[in-house]
Amino acid sequence: MSTPIDPRALDAAAATPEAKEPKPAPQPRMPFGRWVRTLGWRHLVGIAVAIFATFPLIYVLSASFNPTGTLTGSNQLFRALSLDNYVKLLSDPNRPYAAWFGNTMIVGIATSIGTVFLGALAAYSFSRMRFTGRRAGLLSLILVQMFPQLLAVVAIYVLMRGIGEVFPAIGLDSLLGLIMVYLGGALGVNTYLMYGFFNTVPSSIDEAAKLDGAGHARIFFTIILRLVAPILAVIGLLSFIGTTNDFVISSVILTSPERLTLAVGLFRYVSEETNTNYPVFAAGAVLAAIPVVLLFLYLQKYIVSGLTAGAVK
């Protein structure tokens, strides 16, 4: 005697996804040779580039922990670990590393803020206003950058020496004077990059704000700056990196040991023929890289959009 079939069981079986859609057939595994030709070579290139880029960093980090005092002992990475180089670096009275670090942070932060502010003002003017000489001004900013700042070192030195005779606070051997020199070259490629990003912001936003009675200053500070935050972060990061890594201009302006920046001060560890200490130099380089890395990680979310959005305009 056959068992009666429950109609509800049939409806429930028909309503299940397995009854409606059959399972897809498993994809055949790609042969290894074909995978290498299509995708594998990209992974190999990426691994090779990563090793090429990270090996110098790992070597410097290993040298900073090497207690032997020479680079030859660092050929075997992390063979010996010691904090002696960091202790020597921070306890040398003739080379005040802490003062150099503070000077570099002051100059880098002040220059970055000033560069972003001046560049944003210029970019807003070129993007939103129409005036005589606008196109010539944009071209001039690009043409001036064709000549490296190194060509003006002698002129900068003579100018700062003359200014120091009248206003010693902004002359030679002055952090404020060095900041002003850096801000003198704040415009240029940075302004042109900001100009392209500002053009991506619809002008209808400005027109709506003007209908509500807002002027250029209010539009710039309360609306535009918030919309162009990615490019501001990129310019600030590039300015900070360029300022902290600069050696030529800072070595010309600054002369006192306690007023040097990290780039100039650390060079003294390897510039003397009879007293070179590369492991201590490596320890100083590792500590000097920490602020740049932290700032890069903090602004990482803005970097890609800031560099690409202004390039399509």
Residue 309 has pLDDT above 60, yes or no: no
Say yes or no to pLDDT of 166 above 70. yes
How far apart, in Å, are the Cα atoms of 66 and each of 63, 70, 80, 152?
5, 8, 6, 40
- Closest by CA to 87, choosing from 284, 290, 293, is 284
Average pLDDT for 259-283: 82
User: Which carries the bigger pLDDT value, residue 74 or residue 76?
Assistant: 76
Angle at 206 between CA 205 and CA 210, to 5 degrees: 120
pLDDT for residue 152? 83
pLDDT tens for each residue of 225-266: 888 888 888 889 889 998 998 888 998 999 888 889 999 988
Name the phi and psi angles at 91, rounded to 5. Answer: -115, 5
- Between 282 and 81, the more confident residue is 282
Q: Output DSSP code: residue 145.
A: T
pLDDT digits (tens, 9 = 90+) for 29-71: 767 677 777 777 888 888 999 989 888 888 888 888 887 766 6
User: pTM value?
Assistant: 0.78
Specify the pLDDT at position 299: 82
Output the pLDDT for position 261: 92
Share of the chain above pLDDT 90, in %: 12
CA 217 to chain centre: 28
All domains of the chain in start order, with CATH = 32-82 (no CATH), 96-277+288-309 (1.10.3720.10)
Burial class (CB in 10 A: 0-12, 13-18, 19+), 129: exposed
Closest Cα to residue 284, out of 267, 268, 266?
A: 266
More confident residue, 266 or 270: 266
Element holding 48 (H helix, E strand): helix 41-64
Q: Average pLDDT in the 279-305 region?
A: 84
Q: Check: CB of residue 110 under 8 Å from CB of residue 250.
A: no
What is the per-residue pLDDT for 129? 83
Name the most confidently modeled range: 4-18, 226-240, 297-311. Answer: 226-240
The DSSP code for 169 is G
Answer for the pair 172, 161: CB distance below 8 angstroms, yes or no. yes
Instruction: Please provide the average confidence, as pLDDT, over all residues in the chain.
Output: 81
Residue of 312, 176, 152, 160 whose CA lies nearest to 248: 152
Q: Which residue has the higher pLDDT, 75 or 115?
A: 115
